Amino acid sequence: MDSHSQESDQEGSLQGKSARGKIKIKRIENTTNRQVTSCKRRNGLLKKAYELSVLCDAELALIVFSNRGRLYEYANNRFKAHLFPL
């Protein structure tokens, strides 16, 4: 097999996989992009909190305040009673 064929085979094996590049961690200046990113990352963070509590049987609570003052929270059932009493 020549070197060109090997390169093609390697490229072909990467097709269909989405590679994510690293991003520079800094404030997103565009308001719309910042809001979309905030929503996606917040949902991902809440999902990770849930997964950690289930997989590791961890007592977990997460509180996020948006820049508009909205509250987003997660607490597993055992911990919720301590944080958010009725």
Q: Is residue 60 a part of any domain in this protein?
A: yes
Q: What is the pTM of this model?
A: 0.64
Q: What is the pLDDT of residues 1-48, one digit of tens each?
A: 454 544 444 444 445 567 788 888 999 999 999 999 999 999 999 999
Q: Is residue 10 a part of any domain in this protein?
A: no
Q: Is residue 39 a part of any domain in this protein?
A: yes
Q: Is residue 7 a part of any domain in this protein?
A: no
% helix / strand / coil in the chain, to the nearest 5?
Answer: 50, 10, 35
Q: Is residue 78 a part of any domain in this protein?
A: yes
Q: Count structural domains, the chain.
A: 1
